[in-house]
């Protein structure tokens, strides 16, 4: 039970991210059917029937996933309350947040049933869709920060509803737009589908921004809170991701306008940008999930990091730390009797040696990442060096080996904790997960480049793994007792997550596009790697 309580914070954020994604696809599918497929059905003919069937199937799958995720969220929250408050199960299950999860799970199940019946000829979904979507979003709005506010709770809940509705229609609708681009082959009809979805997206973006701005103003209040707290930092990351998403959406908007005059025009580019929008959009939803786990910035008036402290922490300093302190000087080497007065699960205060150890690990990891970025860049810039530089994925193995042995000093082979026992610590568990991802996509990319793996899906392992690692880094919390220090550490990790997302999806575009756009994307991700590596090399914790 204690292990579950220890990792609950990380699991709840990940689960919340899946819930937001499944909710957006479910509601987005209903909106796509309501506002696009059914009104255009007479003009789409047989293609319209096929599109409706596939859209209903995706709504069914997303709603089933949402139902399962909500049930897991309710069950895990109940267990966590039992474990921490030592109350009976039936009392924990009666908590308001658990009730919200149960209601959302029931609504998702109803949506799944209605969508399944519609595929078999049922028409109830045409009148039920707006009601079910509104109820689902309304219930979810009741589980946010809005309901805990003493003032303006209804206005904030309304803003949350508007924000989630905009995200669902826009981000959740993109997978259905891709289905439409495949099913509708007649150029004029396809252009009409693209035009209508573009109009829907513009309205959805307006709703999303209106709700988001209102919540941001209330929850953050001052510019200092935007950069001086973990909440403000995560909100800033979400805004940057949203700007990237708007950039991609703008490119697609221009492509759709071109399709009005050239119906057979930039179809490939529209599809590829839409695919990337889905990936970045899912990252935004995980960022929103992480944001929901943090207290609003205005509720933390003390212990904020100042602008000068942030500049001092981010300013590059030489020399970098390539020598580690002796293990005996670290807190992890303290004898058990020195830790007996600490509360259960608490760690001893970080010493200068602990900080030096952490910086040493980050600086070495940065050297590995810079090496990969430089080699990948040279592969593209020099035909003479390309055969050698193409082996850059093998550097991942060196990085993974270094992180496995040195990232967590308390764990075998250096510390007293065994490998399995160490997974009780959420931070260590995330480090292990990232290490496995590094090994996986390093080996895959190397084998793909050598031509030993010829499967069509193989080249996409690397970009998807990179993008997922970046998204998971946004859920990474250091959970320190010192809120200011926690913010100062997060402010160095969040940019790494953003650069990882950019690297993953630019590599995806390099694989999926052609011509000049492909070449540009091919230079973006190695540069993103170099930036990430330099950030690690100049990382400081004090």
pLDDT in tens, 228-281: 888 888 889 889 999 998 998 888 888 877 777 776 667 788 888 889 999 999
CB 35 within 8 A of CB 196: yes
Q: Is the pLDDT of residue 370 over 90?
A: yes
Bridge partners of 417?
Answer: 411
CB 40 within 8 A of CB 48: yes
| Peptide bond preceding 383 in cis form (omega within 30 of 0) | no
Q: Is the pLDDT of residue 26 over 90?
A: yes
The mean pLDDT of 206-230, rounded to a whole number, is: 88
Joined together, the tokens standing for residue 42 give: 């007479």
Higher-confidence position of 269 and 206: 206
Predicted local distance difference test score (pLDDT) of residue 40: 92
Q: Is the pLDDT of residue 138 over 80?
A: yes
Alpha helices in 171-229 (DSSP H): 174-183, 187-220, 223-228
- In 3D space, the residue among 111, 134, 135 whose CA is nearest the CA of residue 55 turns out to be 111
Q: Is the pLDDT of residue 339 over 70?
A: no
Joined together, the tokens standing for residue 331 give: 């807190």
CB-count burial class (<10 Å; 0-12, 13-18, 19+) for 373: buried
- In whole angstroms, what is the distance from residue 190 CA to residue 195 CA? 9
- In whole angstroms, what is the distance from residue 91 CA to residue 34 CA? 41
- In whole angstroms, what is the distance from residue 408 CA to residue 402 CA? 11
DSSP annotation of 330 reads S
pLDDT, mean over the chain: 86
DSSP annotation of 433 reads H
For 5-133, strand residue ranges (E) read: none
Predicted local distance difference test score (pLDDT) of residue 392: 93
Predicted local distance difference test score (pLDDT) of residue 127: 87
DSSP annotation of 326 reads P
The mean pLDDT of 134-156, rounded to a whole number, is: 82
The contacts of residue 45 (CB under 8 Å, 6+ apart) are: none
Higher-confidence position of 370 and 301: 370
Q: Is the pLDDT of residue 150 over 80?
A: no
Q: In this structure, what are the phi and psi dihedrals at residue 416, rounded to the nearest 5 degrees?
A: -85, -20
Q: Is the pLDDT of residue 325 over 60?
A: yes
Q: Is the pLDDT of residue 410 over 60?
A: yes
DSSP annotation of 418 reads -
Give SS3 for 278.
helix
Among 272-286, 451-465, 485-499, which stretch is predicted with the lowest mean pLDDT? Answer: 485-499
Place of tokens 């506002």: 35
Q: In this structure, what are the phi and psi dihedrals at residue 414, rounded to the nearest 5 degrees?
A: -95, -45
Joined together, the tokens standing for residue 367 give: 């050297």
- In 3D space, the residue among 213, 407, 236, 217 whose CA is nearest the CA of residue 305 turns out to be 236
Q: Is the pLDDT of residue 479 over 70?
A: no
- pLDDT, tens only, 412-440: 777 667 767 766 676 677 777 778 878 88
Joined together, the tokens standing for residue 403 give: 């992180």
CB-count burial class (<10 Å; 0-12, 13-18, 19+) for 170: buried
Q: What pTM did the predictor assign?
A: 0.84
Predicted local distance difference test score (pLDDT) of residue 103: 93
Q: Is the pLDDT of residue 443 over 80?
A: yes
Predicted local distance difference test score (pLDDT) of residue 442: 86
CA 150 to chain centre: 30
Predicted local distance difference test score (pLDDT) of residue 5: 64
Predicted local distance difference test score (pLDDT) of residue 6: 62
Percent of the chain topping pLDDT 90: 35
Banded model confidence at residue 7, pLDDT cuts 50, 70, 90: low
DSSP string, 466-485: HHHHHHHHTT-----S-HHH
- In whole angstroms, what is the distance from residue 531 CA to residue 521 CA? 16
The mean pLDDT of 276-287, rounded to a whole number, is: 90
Give SS3 for 411.
strand
| Peptide bond preceding 413 in cis form (omega within 30 of 0) | yes
- In whole angstroms, what is the distance from residue 294 CA to residue 299 CA? 10
CA 443 to chain centre: 24
Place of tokens 């690692």: 469
Bridge partners of 411?
Answer: 417
Q: In this structure, what are the phi and psi dihedrals at residue 425, rounded to the nearest 5 degrees?
A: -85, 120
């Amino acid at each position: 039970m204690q292990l579950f309580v220890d990792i609950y914070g990380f699991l709840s954020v990940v689960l919340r991210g899946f819930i937001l994604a499944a909710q957006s696809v479910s509601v987005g599918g209903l909106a796509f059917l309501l506002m696009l497929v059914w009104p255009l059905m007479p003009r789409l003919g047989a293609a319209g029937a096929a599109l409706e069937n596939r859209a209903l199937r995706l709504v069914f799958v997303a709603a089933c996933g949402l139902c399962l995720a909500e049930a897991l969220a309710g069950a895990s929250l109940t267990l966590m309350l039992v474990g921490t408050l030592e109350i009976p199960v039936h009392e924990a299950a009666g908590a308001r947040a658990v009730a919200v999860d149960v209601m959302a799970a029931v609504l998702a199940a109803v949506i799944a049933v209605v969508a399944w019946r519609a595929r078999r000829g049922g028409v109830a979904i045409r009148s039920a869709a707006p009601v079910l979507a509104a109820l689902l979003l309304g219930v979810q709005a009741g589980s946010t920060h809005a309901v805990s506010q003493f003032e303006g709770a209804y206005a904030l809940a309304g803003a949350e509803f508007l924000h989630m509705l905009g995200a669902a229609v826009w981000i959740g609708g993109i997978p259905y737009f891709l289905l439409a681009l495949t099913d509708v082959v007649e150029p004029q009809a396809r252009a009409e589908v693209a035009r209508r979805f573009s109009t829907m997206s513009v309205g959805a973006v307006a709703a999303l921004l209106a709700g988001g701005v209102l919540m941001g103003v209330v929850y953050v209040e001052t510019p200092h809170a935007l950069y001086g707290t973990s909440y403000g930092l995560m909100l800033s990351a979400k805004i940057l991701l949203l700007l990237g998403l708007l950039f991609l959406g703008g490119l697609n908007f221009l492509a759709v306008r071109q399709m009005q005059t050239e119906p057979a025009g930039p179809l490939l580019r529209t599809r590829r940008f839409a695919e990337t929008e889905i990936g970045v959009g899912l990252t935004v939803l995980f960022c929103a999930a992480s944001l929901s786990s943090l207290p609003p910035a205005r509720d933390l008036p003390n212990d904020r990091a100042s602008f000068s402290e942030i500049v001092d922490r981010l300013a590059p300093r030489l020399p970098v730390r390539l020598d580690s302190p002796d293990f005996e000087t670290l807190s992890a080497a303290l004898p058990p009797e020195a830790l007996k007065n600490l509360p259960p699960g608490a760690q001893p205060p970080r010493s200068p040696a602990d900080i030096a150890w952490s910086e040493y690990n980050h600086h070495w990891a940065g050297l590995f990442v810079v090496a990969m970025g430089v080699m990948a860049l040279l592969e593209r810039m020099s035909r003479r060096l390309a055969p050698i530089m193409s082996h850059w994925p093998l550097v991942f193995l060196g990085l993974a080996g270094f992180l496995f042995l040195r990232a967590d000093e308390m764990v075998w082979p250096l510390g007293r904790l065994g490998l399995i026992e160490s997974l009780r610590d959420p931070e260590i568990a995330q480090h292990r997960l990232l290490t496995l991802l590094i090994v996986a996509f390093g080996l895959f990319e190397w084998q793909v480049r050598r031509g030993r793996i010829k499967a069509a899906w193989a080249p996409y392992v690397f970009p998807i793994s990179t993008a997922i690692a970046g998204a998971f880094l946004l859920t990474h919390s250091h959970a320190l007792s010192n809120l200011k220090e926690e913010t100062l550490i997060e402010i160095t990790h969040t940019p790494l997550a953003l650069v990882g997302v950019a690297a993953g999806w630019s590599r995806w575009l390099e694989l999926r596009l052609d011509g000049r756009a492909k070449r540009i994307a091919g230079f973006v991700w190695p540069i993103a790697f170099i930036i990430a590596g330099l950030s690690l090399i100049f990382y400081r914790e004090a």
